[in-house]
Structure 1
Amino acid sequence: MIRILSFAVVVLALAAGFAWLADRPGELSLIWQGQRIEMSLMVAATLLASLIAIILIAIWIVRVVWLSPHSISRYFRARKRDRGYQALSTGLIAAGAGDAALARKMTARTRGLISADQEPLIHLLEAQTALIEGKNDDARKKFELMADDPETRELGLRGLYLEAKRLGANEAARQYAERAADKAPHLPWATLATLDYRSQSGHWDEAIKLLDQSRASHVIERHEADRKKAVLLTARAKDKLESDPKGARDDALAALKLSENLIPAGLIAAKALFREDNLRKGASILEKLWKHEPQAEIAKLYVRARSGDSAVDRLKRASKLEAIRPNNAVSLAAVAESALEARELSLARSKAEAAARIQPTEGIFLLLADIEEADTGDDGRIRHWMNQALKSPRDPAWTAEGMTSPEWLPVSPVSGRLDAFEWKMPVAQIAGPVEEHAEETANAAIRSLPPVSAKQQPESVRRTPETIVKVETVKEEPITRTIAVPAPSESVLVPETVVVGTTTVTTSEPKSEKPKAMPRRPEDEDAAPAEPFFGRPPDDPGVREVPSAEKTNFRLF
């Protein structure tokens, strides 16, 4: 555009000059070697302009003829280079697609058209071709050549790092990553890999220093950098907790400032504060974490914050946690456990059963088994809860890449990745509709318990007993018939099982006296079956005495 405007300006200037001369006519006379030459001023200007144009054209023709060999060679060289770059592009695409034959063919063609000194991408094409052909040693040599060239250093180190990771040479991979991070700190892969390796070796100070440098160079986003630094500070505080509680407290509090919901940092900070007898601040940190996400570790540390507290005091602290997060399975389980230690068995049972209805897990059923052992000592009921625990999903735990740990770890033992552990249900138990039928499963487990005996059953749950007969036929489809017979109010239910041939009879009779069987009436056929206190008997009712057949004189059919 500028050249066109410049040409137009020159043409207009010439036209304006000739027009100006035309408006001012004159004569020009020239005497040269005794001859007089006269012409008008317009003719003289035209001849002068023509002479200049002829000279310029002649110079251009001479220049073109003189430089024609070089121009011809440059043309063919550019054409060859273009063909080489086309082959290089095709080869890289073929290598990326996994076409080893075409990649090797394009590599040879590129070598013949372009010099490797002029185009470093030829080394990359050769290395990628060697990789897809399975020639890993040749590919590694190419990457080493690229790592020695300042122009392709980062690309070569990246290739060597990936090859070392593939072969499992973690030490070599660490060295390549650190070398790349030193030469080019702006590379995210080198920075993150070096950060993970330093974290695996426990060099927390060096890892934090590298993370600060990466954040200053905007390699890692601010939110991600704050999270990783909080994890590193928590890991360093964990190592300092036994030897330097004050330093551990400072690091943990600094981690909480960067990530306020980092539970491991809050736990370490609370432990350090409790050792300094600063119970109020430590409890405040735990309460804040509890509001965000209730966890069993938080409850355990909060309840046992003061070592000299009695079981009743720990129950009060657990009740305070329940008040902060009511209707929560973890809160109810914490209260139930503390109530069991305080021998408040009725409260422990009610809270544990409520927790089981909300979230039936292995831990809550094991707690119910402990409560049952302390309350009734009934082996059948205890085995029932243990059986429910075996069939229930596991409790949430610190999980990273399919592996669980009893405590939080800053680095995954599987891949070495920083901040990999999460508090969640193990992967093996996630599959399946666990949460959808949680309440139904817990209610069914609770209803399936048999009634407790007179000595074991609390007064608050005793009912007026009735005689119940349950008949099941083994050979054919089960037939269940229930006959309710009133019994004296002072009697207490005692479940019994009678085996007669292929028929099982389950009875519940008053212990004090045995009522005589009443004849079966027609209206009893349609009567609703009377269920025991918790519904049906458990899967394992325990060891019972088998009474003689004379105790029941019922006509089965």
Structure 2
Amino acid sequence: MIRILFYVLIVLALGAGFAWLADRPGELSLIWQGSRVEMSLMVAATLLASLIAAVLIVIWVIRVVWLSPHSISRYFRARKRDRGYQALSTGLIAAGAGDSALARKMTARTRGLLSSDQEPLIHLLEAQTALIEGKYDDARKKFELMADDPETRELGLRGLYLEAKRLGANEAARQFAERAADKAPHLPWATLAALDYRSQTGQWDEAIRLLDQSRASHVIDRKEADRKKAVLLTARATEKLEADPKGARDDALAALKLADDLVPAGLIAAKALFREDNLRKAASILEKLWKQEPHPEIARLYVRARSGDSALDRLKRASKLEALRPNNAVALAAVAESALEARELSLARAKAEAAARIQPNEGIFLLLADIEEADTGDDGRIRHWMNQALKSPRDPAWTADGVTSPEWLPVSPVSGRLDAFEWKQPVGQIAGPVEEGTLEAADAAIRSLPPVAVTHQRAEPEPQQAETPAKPKHVIETPEKTEEVVETTAVPGPSESVIVPEPVKVEKKPAPARTEEPVVEPFFGRPPDDPGVRDDSDKPLAKASFRLF
């Protein structure tokens, strides 16, 4: 377009010049070798322009004739190069599609039409063809040649890195990734791989420096870079916590600024602040994290912030957490644990059952078993809760790549990936019936709880009424007293109903006061370890009549 405009401007300038001469006529006289030539100025200008055009045409003709051999050779060379690029393109497409025969054919044709010095992609085509044919040694040699060439260094290093990962040579893969990251920090794959390897070896300072470089060059998204840097700072703070609590506190607080929902960072910051006796700031950090997402470790650290607190003080702190996030299973479980320690068993049972209805899992049913043991000591009810725990989903834990860890780790032990651990329910739990582990099943488990074992209290002696029907009993006589012990019989049914007899009148003989152990009747008829049948043949039996309810 610019050339056309240039030519148009030249034509306009010539036309303007001739028009200017036509408006200003004149005569031109020329004496040459004794001859006098006279002509008008317009004719002279036309002859001069024609002479210049003729000279240019002659020069062009001479140049075309002189350069014709080179032009012809260049034409055939360009045609050959076009055919070579066409074969190279077809070969790369065939290699990507897995057509090894066509890829090998196009590789040979490309070699005949193009030179590898002029086109480095020929090495890539040969390496890809060797890979799909299973000739990994040949492919590795090609990648090494490409890694030595400055023009194809990054491509060769990536090929070597992928081959090392395929063979499981992690150290070689790390070296290739480090080399690529140093030479070309703008490559995302090299930066992320080097970052993971430095994190696996605990080189937190080097990993943070590499991450800052990648963020400056816009290789990694800002949000992702902030998250990864927060994880790295938390990992470094974890290592510093014992030897340098102040440095751990600074790193953990910096991590919270980058990712305010990172629970491990908040825990490390709170622990460091507790060691500095800064309870108020530590509690504020834990409360802020708790409001975002309740976590059992936050509750445990918050409740036991001060080692000198009593059980009732810890219960008050747990109740404060519940007030921040009401109707939450984790908060209810924290209150139930603290209430159990404070021996507030009714409160502990109510909170634990509410948590089980919201989020039934293994831990909450085990907690109910502990509460049952402390409250009633009934083995049958304890086994009921233990059975529910076996059938319920497992508690959430720090999980990465199918592996659980008792504590948070910055790097996955399986894949070596940074920031892989998540707080979630582990996979691979034992499968049960469809209804187990659901909210309806938890509510049904609570409603189907066996009744508490009946403990008979001694009543004041009263004259026995004649119209009261006799109850099934055995009369046990001792030197001190006469006591009637009621036997029960379990009635089979879907809800395992139990026959609970009415209270029986007991007669006592005057005797010195003596404390006796109450007789407990389990809900299923006999104690867990059956002592056998009692021999009461020598005792008089009263006339019996049974009542179901």
Q: TM-score, normalised by structure 2?
A: 0.83
Per the TM alignment, residue 127 of structure 1 is displaced from its structure 2 partner at its CA by 0.9
Per-residue CA shift, 1:146-174, capped at 9, x if unaligned?
A: 11111111111111111111111110011
Deviates more, 1:434-443 or 1:264-273: 434-443
1:496 paired with 2:481, answer no
Q: 1:384 to 1:504 in 2, by over 3 A?
A: closer
Structure 2 distance, partners of 1:86, 1:78, is 12
Q: 1:314 to 1:109 in 2, by over 3 A?
A: same
Given the alignment, which residue of 500, 510, 515 partners 1:509?
A: 500
1:7 paired with 2:3, answer no
Deviates more, 1:136-145 or 1:216-225: 216-225
Structure 2 distance, partners of 1:8, 1:282, is 81
Per the TM alignment, residue 38 of structure 1 is displaced from its structure 2 partner at its CA by 4.3
Q: Which amino acid aligns with 2:503?
A: S
Q: Which amino acid aligns with 2:501?
A: P
Structure 2 distance, partners of 1:267, 1:162, is 38
Q: Which amino acid aligns with 2:92?
A: L
Deviates more, 1:427-436 or 1:405-414: 427-436
Look up the match of 1:363. 363
Q: TM-score, normalised by structure 1?
A: 0.82
Q: Which amino acid aligns with 1:166?
A: R
Q: Which amino acid aligns with 1:148?
A: D
| Aligned pairs (5 A) from 1:307-386 | 307-386=307-386
Per the TM alignment, residue 554 of structure 1 is displaced from its structure 2 partner at its CA by 9.1
Per-residue CA shift, 1:213-251, capped at 9, x if unaligned?
A: 222222222222221111111111111222222222222
Q: 1:78 to 1:42 in 2, by over 3 A?
A: same
Q: 1:431 to 1:543 in 2, by over 3 A?
A: closer
Per-residue CA shift, 1:367-401, capped at 9, x if unaligned?
A: 11111111112222111111111111111111112
Structure 2 distance, partners of 1:44, 1:113, is 57
Q: Structure 2, unaligned stretches of length 5 or more?
A: 458-484, 506-522, 535-542
Look up the match of 1:479. none
Are the aligned partners of 2:391 and 2:436 in contact in 1 as well (CA < 8 Å)?
no
Per the TM alignment, residue 551 of structure 1 is displaced from its structure 2 partner at its CA by 6.6
Q: Which amino acid aligns with 1:202?
A: G
Look up the match of 1:265. 265
Look up the match of 2:95. 95
Per-residue CA shift, 1:145-203, capped at 9, x if unaligned?
A: 11111111111111111111111111001111111111111112111111111110111
Structure 1 distance, partners of 2:250, 2:20, is 91
| Aligned pairs (5 A) from 1:285-324 | 285-324=285-324
Q: Which amino acid aligns with 2:404?
A: T
Q: 1:453 to 1:72 in 2, by over 3 A?
A: same
Are the aligned partners of 2:448 and 2:495 in contact in 1 as well (CA < 8 Å)?
no
1:151 paired with 2:142, answer no
Are the aligned partners of 2:161 and 2:172 in contact in 1 as well (CA < 8 Å)?
yes
| Aligned pairs (5 A) from 1:129-148 | 129-148=129-148
Look up the match of 2:404. 404
SS of the residue 2:394 aligns to? coil
SS of the residue 1:267 aligns to? helix
Q: Which amino acid aligns with 1:254?
A: A
Aligned-pair RMSD on alpha carbons? 3.2
Per the TM alignment, residue 496 of structure 1 is displaced from its structure 2 partner at its CA by 3.2
Are the aligned partners of 1:361 and 1:395 in contact in 2 as well (CA < 8 Å)?
yes
Structure 1 distance, partners of 2:47, 2:265, is 95
Are the aligned partners of 2:291 and 2:325 in contact in 1 as well (CA < 8 Å)?
yes
Structure 2 distance, partners of 1:413, 1:310, is 40
Structure 2 distance, partners of 1:414, 1:91, is 38
Per the TM alignment, residue 112 of structure 1 is displaced from its structure 2 partner at its CA by 1.0
Are the aligned partners of 2:365 and 2:389 in contact in 1 as well (CA < 8 Å)?
yes
Moved over 6 A (4+): 430-437, 492-495, 502-505, 543-548, 550-555
Q: Structure 1, unaligned stretches of length 5 or more?
A: 458-491, 515-536
1:209 paired with 2:209, answer yes
